[in-house]
Structure 1
Amino acid sequence: MTDRDQRTVGAPLALLVLYTLFIAAITLTPQQMGTGPDTLIGHALDLFAAHRETAWLTYERVEKLGNVAMFIPFGFLAALHFGRRRWWLGFLFGAGFSAAIEIFQGTVLTQSRFATLSDLVTNTLGAGIGAILGLCCLAAWPKRSRRRESDKELAPV
């Protein structure tokens, strides 16, 4: 393996750890993202409602799409970390992480957060989509060789 390959092996794991902390900061704190009328989300929903083509984008649908979108990078990075043969662990770990979030919200953050089955489903769906995208990237990239050709020539017989 070349020096460059050795440096990039840990990149998906490092990014996955950082992204997991990002999701935790969003979901495991008492304060929710602002969804009132004077927030960015409120203005976007008003804009969607004002046009016939986007009026179907209600708060509930935007929230569900946001849950899916939030977990796509998680599943993608996990699949890249686990590799071609264990890419499906991105889906499994995404489901487990989502379940842990919902349990925490439903037991500890009961005053400000709500645990819902739909969040678990949409988060898991996002992780699954991400894991499949990760598998597609892994399939498109050439496999890394264990040893360089120059190392094979120098190896004793």
Structure 2
Amino acid sequence: MFPVGGVGAMLLASGAAGLVALLLAVLLRRRLGWVAALAFGGLLWSLAVIAAVTLLPMYVRSGYIPAEEAQTVCSFDIGGPAPDGFWIFGGTQRTLNTLAFVPAGICLAVFLARWRWWALVTIPIGTAMLVGYSFLIEITQLELARLDRACDVTDIIDNSAGALIGAILGLLLLPLLRPWRGRPAKSPGGRLPPRP
């Protein structure tokens, strides 16, 4: 039995995650600066929304999925039958799968760019981790039949494209946002000045 599901539960989980992410950003603003703190909070919120939309059942289920009806392998039918649209937004399922990961990619790039030179390494690694997150979601959908979700390689491809597009958009926003601002200046000896 899986008693939680439906659009209401997804929106409630997303809203609660948004409040927690905003509170965390406020708490981190002095240490990271507003831009990086909001990007970090936005990244966490994006990941939570993705989890809510993909791992909560579309409907509240009172029964169970019989073993003979449960999916046993991921679908490798790339570009296969995807429903027209989503129960919350219009558009095709593939477009929405791509768009779901764009905000995470943007926030990831903006947050990691706070450490300017390390960003050359951390942004590609972080983007690869977003691809891994998509893979983990699909495996979870496969293993937990009670979610009544389908594991599909096409979703991983679409999510990965969204993460990459988001990271590129985040990089393009860096000259405007400059997340490296707002961090404490170092003294000539390399130490942080004492706090007043």
Q: Shorter chain as normaliser: what TM range?
A: 0.5 to 0.7
- The structure-2 alpha-carbon separation of the partners of 1:65 and 1:105, relative to structure 1 and needing over 3 Å to count, comes to same
Kept after mapping to 1: 8 A contact 2:36/2:110? no
2:58 corresponds to which residue?
31
Higher helix share: 1
What secondary structure, in the 3-state scheme, does the structure 2 residue paired with 1:147 have?
Answer: coil
Kept after mapping to 1: 8 A contact 2:104/2:166? yes
Q: Does 1:64 align with 2:100?
A: no
Structure-2 separation of matches of 1:89 and 1:139: 21
- The structure-2 alpha-carbon separation of the partners of 1:12 and 1:141, relative to structure 1 and needing over 3 Å to count, comes to closer
Kept after mapping to 2: 8 A contact 1:12/1:77? yes
Superposition deviation, residue 135 in structure 1: 1.1
1:52 corresponds to which residue?
none
Larger radius of gyration: 1
What secondary structure, in the 3-state scheme, does the structure 1 residue paired with 2:123 have?
Answer: coil
2:153 corresponds to which residue?
117
1:75 corresponds to which residue?
105
2:174 corresponds to which residue?
138
Structure-1 separation of matches of 2:43 and 2:151: 24
Q: 131, 144, 147: which one pairs with 2:185?
A: 147
Superposition deviation, residue 78 in structure 1: 0.9
Kept after mapping to 1: 8 A contact 2:56/2:147? no
1:106 corresponds to which residue?
142
Superposition deviation, residue 79 in structure 1: 1.0
Q: 49, 62, 70: which one pairs with 1:22?
A: 49
Structure-2 separation of matches of 1:108 and 1:94: 21
Superposition deviation, residue 81 in structure 1: 1.4
Query: Stretches of 4+ moved more than 4 A in 1?
Result: 139-143
Structure-2 separation of matches of 1:28 and 1:63: 15
- The structure-2 alpha-carbon separation of the partners of 1:116 and 1:110, relative to structure 1 and needing over 3 Å to count, comes to farther
TM-score normalised per structure 1:
0.67
- The structure-2 alpha-carbon separation of the partners of 1:7 and 1:40, relative to structure 1 and needing over 3 Å to count, comes to closer
Kept after mapping to 2: 8 A contact 1:94/1:127? yes
Superposition deviation, residue 9 in structure 1: 2.8
Partner amino acid for 2:185? R
Partner amino acid for 1:133? L
- Equivalent pairs: percent with the same residue? 27
Q: What is the aligned length?
A: 128
TM-score normalised per structure 2:
0.55
Deviations 1:32-58 (A, max 9, x none): 6xx79xx666xx5xxxxxxxxxxxx7x
Gaps in structure 1 of 5+ consecutive residues: 45-56
Structure-2 separation of matches of 1:123 and 1:104: 15
The alignment's C-alpha RMSD in Å is: 3.1
Partner amino acid for 1:147? A
